[in-house]
């Protein structure tokens, strides 16, 4: 049986700091957070990830922050309290990396989720912002339960029932939120994205926290509520 990183975390993280770091991180991700999943064995890695992120141990800080953010986003109250010292150390590093990420919208959104996770937010830190860089969410209508695409990328913005790529479904326009009228957390996310020059992400947030109308039953609804309930 192959040895997993969780079988000996000190040895697994001790391999960082050399020429094979990319391979080591790949093995750590595969063993501790395979395909974005968080397991019981993932949480004990937080002290090692915090040490790497803060420079007390070798390795790439951003990789450590991204993995730790994913793990923290799934933590219950007991685990959040148990690893409070680690998340407190990770938070300023995540904030610094977020402020420095002015080019890559994908990394920006992931780091934004990490900041929220280390702050203790457990809704939008848990992968729900990732549709922002994809420019699309798949949700259900709260009234008729039709499967809907919410698209605000190059082909959007619209709500569509069915496959808008291969078919010719009915569409309705999305109704973006006024940034000045957003609730505190969405307003902060929008302000952070706009301030970092990520205009596409900022615009996407107005659609995520805006409204849509189902093309099938014409019911209006809050997009964010359906995104939240669908995870």
Q: How confident is the model at residue 5 (pLDDT cuts 50, 70, 90)?
A: confident
Enclosing domain of residue 151: 135-229
Distances 163 to 139, 160, 202, 224 between C-alpha atoms, Å = 13, 8, 26, 21
Residue 164 and residue 91 share a domain: no
The answer to whether residue 197 sits within a structural domain is yes
CA distance 49 to 51: 5
Residue 96 and residue 44 share a domain: yes
Whether pTM exceeds 0.85: yes
User: Of 119, 148, 168, which one is at a domain's C-terminal end?
Assistant: 119
Q: What is the mean pLDDT of the chain?
A: 94
Residue 183 and residue 96 share a domain: no
Residue 111 and residue 152 share a domain: no
Residue 151 and residue 181 share a domain: yes
Residue 207 and residue 112 share a domain: no
- What is the model's pLDDT at position 155? 82
User: Could you read off the pLDDT of 125-162 as tens digits, one per residue?
Assistant: 999 999 999 999 999 999 999 999 999 998 889 999 96
Residue 93 and residue 29 share a domain: yes
The answer to whether residue 94 sits within a structural domain is yes
Residue 25 and residue 109 share a domain: yes
Backbone angles phi, psi at 167, to 5 degrees: -110, -165
CA distance 211 to 208: 8
User: Could you read off the pLDDT of 160-214 as tens digits, one per residue?
Assistant: 996 555 556 789 999 999 999 999 999 999 999 999 999 999 999 999 999 999 9
CA distance 96 to 63: 14
Residue 114 and residue 139 share a domain: no
User: Could you read off the pLDDT of 61-103 as tens digits, one per residue?
Assistant: 999 999 999 999 999 999 999 999 999 999 999 999 999 999 9
Residue 109 and residue 24 share a domain: yes
């Amino acid at each position: 049986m192959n040895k997993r990183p969780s079988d000996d975390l000190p040895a697994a993280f001790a391999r960082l700091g050399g020429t094979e770091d990319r391979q080591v991180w790949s093995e750590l991700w595969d063993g501790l957070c395979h395909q974005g999943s968080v397991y019981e064995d993932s949480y004990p890695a937080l002290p090692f990830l915090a040490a790497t992120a803060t420079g007390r141990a070798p390795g790439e800080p951003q990789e450590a922050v991204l993995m730790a953010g994913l793990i923290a986003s799934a933590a219950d109250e007991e685990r959040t309290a148990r690893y409070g010292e680690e998340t407190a150390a990770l938070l300023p590093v995540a904030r610094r990396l977020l402020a420095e990420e002015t080019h890559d919208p994908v990394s920006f959104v992931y780091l934004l989720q990490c900041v929220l996770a280390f702050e203790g937010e457990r809704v939008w830190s848990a992968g729900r912002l990732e549709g922002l860089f994809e420019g699309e969410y798949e949700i259900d209508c709260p009234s008729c339960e039709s499967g809907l695409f919410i698209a605000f990328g190059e082909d959007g913005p619209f709500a569509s029932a069915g496959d808008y790529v291969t078919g010719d479904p009915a569409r309705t326009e999305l109704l973006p939120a006024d940034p000045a009228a957003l609730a505190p957390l969405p307003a902060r996310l929008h302000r952070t994205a706009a301030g970092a020059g990520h205009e596409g992400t900022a615009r996407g947030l107005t659609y995520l926290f805006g409204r849509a109308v189902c093309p099938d039953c014409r019911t209006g609804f809050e997009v964010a509520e359906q995104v939240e309930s669908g995870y």
